Amino acid sequence: MDPPEILEDHSVTLTCSSDAKPAATFRWFKDIRTLLTEDPHLTLRSVHRSDSGKYHCVAENELGKTASEYVFINVEYPPETSSVSVNPPEILEGSSVTLTCSSDANPAANYTWFKDNRALLSEQEVHFSSIRSEDSGNYSCKSENKHGKSSWIPLFLDVQYPPRIPSVSVSVFVQILENSSVTLTCSCDANPAAAFRWFKNNQTLILEDPHLTLRSVHRSDSGKYHCVAENELGKTASEDIFINVEYPPETSSVSVNPPEILEDHSVTLTCSSDANPAASYTWFKDNRALLLGQEVHLSSIRSEDSGNYSCKSENKHGQSSSIPLFLDVQYPPRIPSVSVSVFGQILEGSSVTLTCSSDANPAASYTWFKENQPLLLEDPHLTFRSVHRSDSGKYHCVAENELGKTASEYIFINVECSLKPAAAAKITFTVLLFAFLPTFLWIRKFWRVSEQQEKRPANRTRVNMSPDINGPSAEAAEQLELHHSSIHFSENQEDCLNSSTE
């Protein structure tokens, strides 16, 4: 027979009765232990769960004693406050974990599990064969029987695990300009919480903080950064993040290769400037735009390419210009030209200068030759302060520098005689006399004829103008007078005169 349903805190009376003569006395026993009462009635006025047990009584008189059968007193009560235990106490990700719900109840309680206040399952135990970090949370259980249900205290299940792969974020979402402030943040899921270390180009930075702040970032701060998250269960490194610090071009510079620039050789000019992003380049020659590009390549440079070259470097943050570089193209002398200071005839005793000129770089030195014989003169000017007929001849010059030499064409110098003033005057007078004498004689003859005509009688109609062939005429007389004149030159003038008359 099922024991009666006795609720805790109720009153219960057990009565022992036995037919005996003389009348029996009674003693009570609970679980074989004698109770301090000798009465046929055993009253439990406020029954407690501890009163549950097997009871019996013994009836006794002088003739003997007899024991009753056992009666089971089952004190029922609702569940006490539930408790949750976890095994093992330290919960590591991937390990096996069991949660157990316990509650004192009679009859035995039914259990319902909750995670973060949401029903999970109806069992006394929750078993995780390989617990995960997502299983962390507040676990509680509810105990319930027909007499009531218990309250519960949540248990936080703290699953520990090594750091996940960290992520690095940058406070600047677009371009990073020099002198601005940049913060890198390393974040990582880990339990226990991770400590952080920063690395630049795989070199450790003296900083253990999830935030790396560059308050006035410099171009030298550009590079690959990563962080390492670590706790007692392990450590993990983030992926690299590249910090690219941008800035306008620095002062541009121009370099030339090869350094010595020879005509017809290949020459390359290069413009350089530190800039990020990389600069675009514009070339100028003598302040006039030339071309776009970092290099100017002259495959066969010419002397006309000499000049001041400069470049401008430019990106989206600014621009800079180089200091002009003078491109000095060197070349051997061109064919020299010879000029003469006298434009007409060259008279003996006059001053004459021959000038040799040639385009050359470096500047040429000059050597003079007469009749292919070198003269002891190295000067672009060959000066005869009082030229002599012996200076007549073929002249040329040679222009020379370290790159070569070139000869001019020949020029012929012809020194003509120059008369002294007295001789020149006599010759001039003689020439004029011979030039004007026929005119003078004709005029004289004409005057004489006119006078004769005036003296003759008016009735004479004919005049004989023919000269007398038997006697000398006036013209003949004049010519005779002329033949008696003579031109005399001094001995010093005879050679030059002969030379002139030839």
Whole-prediction pTM value? 0.58
3-state secondary structure at position 104: coil
Domains located in the chain, CATH noted: 5-76 (2.60.40.10), 83-157 (2.60.40.10), 171-246 (2.60.40.10), 253-327 (2.60.40.10), 337-416 (2.60.40.10)
3-state secondary structure at position 302: coil
Give first-to-last CA distance, the chain, whole Å.
183
pLDDT in tens, 323-345: 999 999 999 999 999 999 988 89
Neighbours of 335 (CB within 10 A): 11
Residues 6+ apart with CB under 8 A from 1: none
Select from 14, 74, 16 the least CA-distant residue to 48. Answer: 74
Q: What integer pLDDT is reported at residue 497 of this predicted model?
A: 43
Q: What integer pLDDT is reported at residue 494 of this predicted model?
A: 44
Token pair for residue 73?
């007193």
Token pair for residue 245?
């610090």
Q: What integer pLDDT is reported at residue 156 of this predicted model?
A: 93
Strand partners, 415: 346
Residue 137 CA: distances (Å) to CA of 111, 130, 134, 143 = 19, 16, 8, 20
Contact 140, 152 (CB under 8 A): yes
Q: What integer pLDDT is reported at residue 470 of this predicted model?
A: 41
Residue 152 CA: distances (Å) to CA of 103, 112, 123, 127, 334 = 10, 11, 15, 19, 112
Q: Give the pLDDT of the chain (502 residues) as one tens digit per residue.
A: 566 779 999 999 999 999 999 999 999 999 878 887 888 999 999 999 999 999 999 999 999 999 999 999 999 999 988 889 999 999 999 999 999 999 999 999 999 999 999 999 999 999 999 999 999 999 999 999 999 998 788 999 999 999 999 999 999 888 899 999 999 999 999 999 999 999 999 999 988 899 999 999 999 999 999 999 999 999 999 999 999 999 999 889 999 999 999 999 999 999 999 999 999 999 999 999 999 999 999 999 999 999 999 999 999 999 999 999 999 999 999 999 999 998 889 999 999 999 999 999 999 999 999 999 999 788 999 999 999 999 999 999 999 999 999 999 999 999 998 765 555 555 555 656 666 676 777 777 766 756 565 554 444 333 333 344 344 444 433 443 333 333 333 334 445 544 433 3
Residue 475 to residue 481: CA distance in whole angstroms: 10
Select from 83, 81, 85, 49 the least CA-distant residue to 150. Answer: 81
Q: What integer pLDDT is reported at residue 33 of this predicted model?
A: 87
Strand partners, 156: 138
Q: What integer pLDDT is reported at residue 490 of this predicted model?
A: 37
Please name the residue that has the structure tokens 């010595």. 260
Q: What integer pLDDT is reported at residue 126 of this predicted model?
A: 94
Burial of 349 (0-12, 13-18, 19+ CB in 10 A): middle
Q: What integer pLDDT is reported at residue 432 of this predicted model?
A: 63
Residue 106 CA: distances (Å) to CA of 4, 52, 149 = 13, 11, 11
3-state secondary structure at position 60: strand
In the chain, the amino acid numbered 178 is: E
pLDDT in tens, 32-60: 788 878 889 999 999 999 999 999 999 99
